[in-house]
């Protein structure tokens, strides 16, 4: 997505949930995708679900990985730093490869491959750091989506797979079971020793749940 990794980082992009939802819709329209199977993680959850709420007839299924509709969710400590003017900039400016790696690995009991951590750090250029600060500062109440979108998704009743690393320090695993409140048919898979990036620290387990789910949905 724009602003992150190897994506373009336009300064005039609207770095908000709504802005990213519009961008996703534009991409799908450009590609001629009439119905989408969304596989979402982290901020991709709000982006994708915000788009789906506007175009429910185009939503075929959803996979939620350590994200979802989370009533009462409060920002984790790192997000609170990013949301604080000056402090967020100082944190970004002083982040080293050692400090970044320490934070990432401490947050994942199984650990992430060093090659993956190296890639994540390489992608953390100033454009990405700027996007992080703008996006987090534009998102005041991450739990508000439950109130705004919950009713819509209860009525849709689309097929949903929830995969959650139980050791995630950023998005607590207690929200995994709560997805049933909004997605009545949700199938939930908890990976006890995984952290925030289960598709990296336990790719076989994630693939074992994800691939059969998507195969079933796309064969309909």
Q: Give per-residue burial for 143-161: e unless 16+ CB within 10 Å, then b.
A: eebbeebbeebeebebbbb
**Tokens for 99?**
């400090």
**For the chain, domain boundaries:** 17-218
**Tokens for 128?**
């990405």
pTM: predicted TM-score of the whole model, two decimal places:
0.94
> Phi/psi at 107 (nearest 5 deg)?
-90, 0
Q: Regarding the domain delimited by 17-218, which CATH topology (the fold level of the hierarchy) does it fall under?
A: Rossmann fold (3.40.50)
Report angle CA 11, 18, 183 to the nearest 5 degrees.
145
Residues 163 and 171 sit within 8 Å (Cβ to Cβ):
no
Short-list 16, 88, 65, CA closest to 170: 65
Write out the chain's pLDDT in tens, 220 residues: 999 999 999 888 999 999 999 999 999 999 999 999 999 999 999 999 999 999 999 999 999 999 999 999 999 999 999 999 999 999 999 999 999 999 899 888 889 999 999 999 999 999 999 999 999 999 999 888 888 888 899 989 899 999 999 999 999 999 999 999 999 999 999 999 999 999 999 999 999 999 999 999 998 7
């Amino acid at each position: 997505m724009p602003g992150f990794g190897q994506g373009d980082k336009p300064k005039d992009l609207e770095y908000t949930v709504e802005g990213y939802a519009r961008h996703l819709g534009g991409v799908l329209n450009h590609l001629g995708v009439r119905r989408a199977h969304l596989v979402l993680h982290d901020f991709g959850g709000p982006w994708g679900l915000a788009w789906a709420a506007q175009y429910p007839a185009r939503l075929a299924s959803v996979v939620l990985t350590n994200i979802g509709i989370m009533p009462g969710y409060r920002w984790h400590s790192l997000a609170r730093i990013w949301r604080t003017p000056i402090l967020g900039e100082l944190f970004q400016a002083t982040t080293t490869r050692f400090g970044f790696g320490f934070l990432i690995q401490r947050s994942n009991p199984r650990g992430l491959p060093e090659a993956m951590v190296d890639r994540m750090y390489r992608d953390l250029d100033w454009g990405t750091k700027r996007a992080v600060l703008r996006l987090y500062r534009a998102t005041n109440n991450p739990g508000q989506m439950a109130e705004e979108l919950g009713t819509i998704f209860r009525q849709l009743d689309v097929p949903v797979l929830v995969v959650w690393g139980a050791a995630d320090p950023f998005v607590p695993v207690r929200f995994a079971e709560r997805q049933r409140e909004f997605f009545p048919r949700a199938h939930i898979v908890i990976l006890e020793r995984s952290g925030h990036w289960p598709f990296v620290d336990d790719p076989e387990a994630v693939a074992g749940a994800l691939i059969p789910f998507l195969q079933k949905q796309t064969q309909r």
